[in-house]
Structure 1
Amino acid sequence: MSDIRQKSLKKNALFSSIKSVMNIIFPIISFPYASRILLPEGIGSVNFANSIIEYFLLIADLGIGTYAAREAARIRDNKYELSKLTREILFFNFITTTIAYLLLIISLLFINRLSDYRLLLIICSTKILFSTIGIGWLYTAQEDYGYITIRHIAFQIISLILLFTLVKSKEDYLIYAGIGVFSNVGANIFNFIHSRKYINLREKTPIQLTRHIKPILTFFSVDAAGKVNGVLDTIMLGFLSGDLSVGLYIAATKLSKMVRQLITSIISTFMPRSSYLINHRESDEYESLLTKVLSITFFLSIPAAVGLLFLAEPLTIIFCGDNYLDSVPTMKLLAISIIFCSFNSYLNNLILTPNRLERFMLYAQLIALVINGGLNWILITYGLKYGIKWGVFGAGIATLLVDLTLPIVKLFAGWKYINNKKNFYDLLKALIGSALMLLVLYLIVSTITNITIKILISVITGSIVYAIIECLLRHSSALMILSMLKKHYKK
């Protein structure tokens, strides 16, 4: 791979990391404030509404985002073809968005359980329209992560200011919901304007929708099953137990989702490049990319899971408050899912999607959906017999097993791409380093009483210990990072 393209990959990963770190920092600042002002019931109401809207959002998206990003990456050097594809995808997307809003209106009119959340659901539903006009897949295909990152950070800062200015009591949960929409998708209108850099929507091109129907429906099925899997635990807790359980569960999953998002966002930046390399038959570079990214996946996810597992209680107290301590067992359980979800993202973005093997993604999601629904019903109901805390824990067990099921099924298609000794050795080195880091964290957590100091020392010391061990074990990702730092220091 040329130096320019290699540098581009490093920049993509860097910008994606910055964006993901901001996605962690923003909730770290905002969620403790919001959770204390709105209390578990208020947080639960907003997240219950957002979970409902996710169903209509997946209808509007219809799997278009992933499919469009892959196809656009293949033809990104051809402005005419790219403009043609964009016009077709937008036309398709506006049809599905209209259908989604019609179904939402019908649901609000005829489902009694949603009547108490009507205004909240309407506010949260604006993310559907903003997501449609955002055409984020175009910027993913172009690997324009610099623009995406700067735009995203700017709107998060504005949202943070609005949060501290406008949300003052537990009755302000509607404002909190609106700010959440603004921070996540409010900037998408600028995407539409900025898209002129890559495409010309005024250029008259023939609209051929039929060629997109089959792959889009496949990706829709994958996304639909995936999003249902992602919110089913929250929905079932809301119906079976109530807002308090949802609030506790959100607190339990918040940090693990943030850490997971940081790692998976880095992995996803390599999907367009993988599609490009496969389309141009550059197999050697593609195989090299597969090995490097898998190494990075385990290098980051395993110690992150161990760290969150050991710091679950002090992190809960700092970021959520004492009212959320019943969520700690579930948070510890879901810390492990960081590893499974990161590997699952690797299989999706580096192997299955670029190689047009999305049917295996669908098989995995359908199997997981059956497991998810059955286990959530059984474990939540059984857990609630012993109190809300254990009902929430039951939902956590179901989620962990679903997160494990997804990559196992996908390995049937992806095993031949990763079956080499180097990948196994790097996995083993990451496990050894994380185990030794775990011993250090145990000593720190056992001896330090001040919560803030405990967290700071644990994070800093644990990271240093892990980095040193991995360098001594000559983990390929550790050596790559060390080489980059040496080059930067020389400059």
Structure 2
Amino acid sequence: MKTIRNLFYNASYQLLITLIPLLTQPYISRVLLPKGNGIYTYTWSIIQYFVLIGDLGITLYGNREIAYHRDDKKERSRIFWEIEILQLCTTTISVLAFFIFLHFDHQYFTFQLLQIVWLIAQGIDISWYFMGLEDFKKTVLRNTLVKAVSVILIFVVVKTPADLWKYILIQGGAQLLGGLSLWPYLRGSVERVSVSVNGIIKHLYPAFVLFIPNIAIQVYAVVNRTMLKQFDSTVSAGYFNFSDSLVKTILSIVTATGTVMLPHIANKFSQGDMRGVNNSLYRSMNFVSAISVPLMFGLAALSMKFAPWFFGHKYNEVGELIFFETPIIVLIAWSTVVGRQYLMPVKRIRDYTISVTIGAVANIIVNVPLILAVGASGAAIATVISEALVTAYQVFAVRDSLQIRKMFTGQWKYFVSGLVMFVIVNFISSRISMTFIHLGVEVFIGIIVYTVGVMLTRAHIVDEVRRLVRARFH
């Protein structure tokens, strides 16, 4: 029940951060205009490389190590302080590297400098500690409050394109306050312990091992925006950012399971319960497929009409980008299960690293010709190609330790139900105007069609829901 409760908390938070862009992006797209949004996208993409250096794999490593030792308060306290001191050191180095970068790159200097708040926030972020304890309630409640305040500030403070600097500070400031708000909860959870330089340094290598795949992940998560600015235009970078952000926002509902299940599976692995690890994985794969497939088809069906209505008439191109990019909802959902919920907890970091490296290299290789040929649409297509390669390699890597057929048994039922839903919703969308009421009706019809489809085909998710209901009321 604890895992279900954590899924509820994390899913609730993911729903919140899904709704926040739905509130702010239509406003920001119209106020800052394509140029302002393009500048924000480009400068944000640059700071994320330095945030990556500051993180150095510590977020994933710390989450896993706390999960391994969560029942020993003294040991987890020692691990916490050693890892956090290491994080402060790596962040300091990253800050210095960022100032060196600014010395040589003066384009959008002021906006670049303001983005440094994201980097400072990285240094004091201890969410990995509470995730390792599977204590998601604290992080969710505090971050919910911070996000709510940031939304209010955006509507109150950001009024014209000249307020871009305020928007940057609000976005970075929300991250900083979210990190600071978790520190009071350490009281009673960790003890004062003595730490040594050697104790701190010993975490450097295993964290760095996780840093390598993080580099690759960041490359194909951020490099598209940077390359679009270099090979096409700043405006195209803004278009792609809105498309990618919306798709990833919808995707976050699904990938919430990865954050919850990683410490849960890591703990089972530390106890030698491989049967429990595998069973959790099979059930998780079924769950994410049942959710991600309708999200993919539903968003694709609505994309062309939704984008100009949601972002404004100057953003027609975003609808096409969303349509091209929707397959990553399913692909990343699958790779979250295989990579984040299996390969990482059972310490198969090499396979995970190879998979994301393949994705990063492929993304860079295909990005240039595709962007030069079709602009921002090329970046969207490149994203899908790279994610497909990541997922394919991860599935290939676990073929000897997991039953691949069992992982994907019955998946066709979700795709058939989703495809029927796509045809119906797309038909309706093409014949009516996009309004808030019409959107609600289309979403409702899509849910009904998909639900009927999975029930008629007797998909596995139906049995899972029945099992959970019985467990809850008996």
TM-score (norm 2): 0.96
Report if aligned partners of 1:274, 1:350 keep a CA contact under 8 Å in 2.
yes
1:367 to 2:351 alignment: no
- Structure 1 unaligned regions, length at least 5: 1-6, 384-390
1:133 to 2:124 alignment: yes
Mapping of 1:29-44 within 5 angstroms? 29-44=23-38
Residue 403 of structure 2, aligned match among 419, 423, 438: 419
After superposition, give the CA deviation of every residue in 1:185-207 in whole Å (9 maximum; x if it has no partner).
Answer: 4221121221224212x322445
The whole-number CA distance in structure 2 between the counterparts of 1:163 and 1:270 is 33
Deviation at 1:323, TM superposition (A): 0.5
The whole-number CA distance in structure 1 between the counterparts of 2:390 and 2:163 is 38
Residue 235 of structure 1, aligned match among 226, 233, 242: 226
Deviation at 1:56, TM superposition (A): 0.4
Alignment correspondent of 1:294:
285
Q: Which deviates the most, 204-213 or 324-333?
A: 204-213
Alignment correspondent of 2:145:
154
Alignment correspondent of 1:452:
436
The whole-number CA distance in structure 2 between the counterparts of 1:458 and 1:484 is 29
Name the SS for the 1:29 alignment partner: helix
Residue 121 of structure 1, aligned match among 112, 115, 126: 112
Identity %: 24
The whole-number CA distance in structure 1 between the counterparts of 2:338 and 2:359 is 16
Alignment correspondent of 2:55:
61
Report if aligned partners of 1:256, 1:335 keep a CA contact under 8 Å in 2.
yes
Residue 104 of structure 1, aligned match among 83, 94, 98: 98
Report if aligned partners of 1:143, 1:272 keep a CA contact under 8 Å in 2.
yes
Kindly provide the amino acid, as one letter, of the partner of residue 308 in structure 2.
I
Alignment correspondent of 1:20:
14
The whole-number CA distance in structure 2 between the counterparts of 1:412 and 1:103 is 38
Kindly provide the amino acid, as one letter, of the partner of residue 70 in structure 1.
R
The whole-number CA distance in structure 2 between the counterparts of 1:468 and 1:422 is 24
Structure 1 422/468 Cα, relative in aligned 2: closer, same or farther at 3 Å?
farther
Alignment correspondent of 2:75:
81
Alignment correspondent of 1:143:
134
Q: Which deviates the most, 78-87 or 406-415?
A: 406-415
Report if aligned partners of 1:290, 1:418 keep a CA contact under 8 Å in 2.
no
Deviation at 1:228, TM superposition (A): 1.5
Alignment correspondent of 2:455:
471
The whole-number CA distance in structure 2 between the counterparts of 1:378 and 1:347 is 31
TM-score (norm 1): 0.92
Kindly provide the amino acid, as one letter, of the partner of residue 244 in structure 2.
T
Residue 204 of structure 1, aligned match among 179, 191, 194: 194
Q: Which deviates the most, 126-135 or 337-346?
A: 126-135
Residue 432 of structure 1, aligned match among 410, 413, 416: 416
Mapping of 1:145-184 within 5 angstroms? 145-184=136-175
Q: Which deviates the most, 36-45 or 130-139?
A: 130-139
Name the SS for the 1:287 alignment partner: helix
Name the SS for the 2:427 alignment partner: helix
The whole-number CA distance in structure 1 between the counterparts of 2:411 and 2:161 is 46
The whole-number CA distance in structure 1 between the counterparts of 2:247 and 2:131 is 24
- Structure 2 unaligned regions, length at least 5: none
After superposition, give the CA deviation of every residue in 1:185-233 in whole Å (9 maximum; x if it has no partner).
Answer: 4221121221224212x32244513432332111111111210121111
The whole-number CA distance in structure 2 between the counterparts of 1:450 and 1:367 is 40
Name the SS for the 1:198 alignment partner: coil
Report if aligned partners of 1:60, 1:128 keep a CA contact under 8 Å in 2.
yes
Report if aligned partners of 2:31, 2:159 keep a CA contact under 8 Å in 1.
yes
Report if aligned partners of 1:233, 1:395 keep a CA contact under 8 Å in 2.
yes
Alignment correspondent of 1:264:
255
After superposition, give the CA deviation of every residue in 1:8-58 in whole Å (9 maximum; x if it has no partner).
Answer: 111111111110011110010011111100001111111111100000000
Deviation at 1:442, TM superposition (A): 3.0
Kindly provide the amino acid, as one letter, of the partner of residue 254 in structure 2.
I
Name the SS for the 1:203 alignment partner: coil
Alignment correspondent of 1:392:
376
1:48 to 2:48 alignment: no
Alignment correspondent of 1:481:
465
Name the SS for the 2:433 alignment partner: coil
The whole-number CA distance in structure 2 between the counterparts of 1:87 and 1:267 is 25
The whole-number CA distance in structure 2 between the counterparts of 1:88 and 1:483 is 42
1:190 to 2:184 alignment: no
Alignment correspondent of 2:329:
338
Report if aligned partners of 1:314, 1:451 keep a CA contact under 8 Å in 2.
no
After superposition, give the CA deviation of every residue in 1:424-480 in whole Å (9 maximum; x if it has no partner).
Answer: 333122112112222321332233334333321121111122122213323222332
Report if aligned partners of 1:167, 1:176 keep a CA contact under 8 Å in 2.
yes
Kindly provide the amino acid, as one letter, of the partner of residue 406 in structure 1.
V
Alignment correspondent of 1:386:
none
Alignment correspondent of 1:278:
269
Name the SS for the 2:159 alignment partner: coil
Report if aligned partners of 2:45, 2:225 keep a CA contact under 8 Å in 1.
yes
After superposition, give the CA deviation of every residue in 1:125-184 in whole Å (9 maximum; x if it has no partner).
Answer: 112222221211101101111111111110111111111110011100010111111233
CA RMSD in angstroms, aligned pairs only: 1.8
Alignment correspondent of 1:3:
none
Report if aligned partners of 2:305, 2:434 keep a CA contact under 8 Å in 1.
no
Residue 208 of structure 2, aligned match among 217, 220, 233: 217
The whole-number CA distance in structure 2 between the counterparts of 1:185 and 1:375 is 35
Report how many residues are paired: 473
The whole-number CA distance in structure 1 between the counterparts of 2:357 and 2:426 is 39
The whole-number CA distance in structure 1 between the counterparts of 2:215 and 2:450 is 38
The whole-number CA distance in structure 1 between the counterparts of 2:240 and 2:209 is 31
Name the SS for the 2:203 alignment partner: helix
Residue 441 of structure 1, aligned match among 406, 416, 425: 425
The whole-number CA distance in structure 1 between the counterparts of 2:309 and 2:469 is 33
Report if aligned partners of 1:63, 1:218 keep a CA contact under 8 Å in 2.
yes
Q: Which deviates the most, 225-234 or 311-320?
A: 311-320
The whole-number CA distance in structure 1 between the counterparts of 2:305 and 2:470 is 36
Report if aligned partners of 1:127, 1:185 keep a CA contact under 8 Å in 2.
yes
Alignment correspondent of 1:4:
none
Alignment correspondent of 1:387:
none
The whole-number CA distance in structure 2 between the counterparts of 1:205 and 1:109 is 36
Report if aligned partners of 1:318, 1:452 keep a CA contact under 8 Å in 2.
no
Kindly provide the amino acid, as one letter, of the partner of residue 408 in structure 2.
F
Alignment correspondent of 2:89:
95
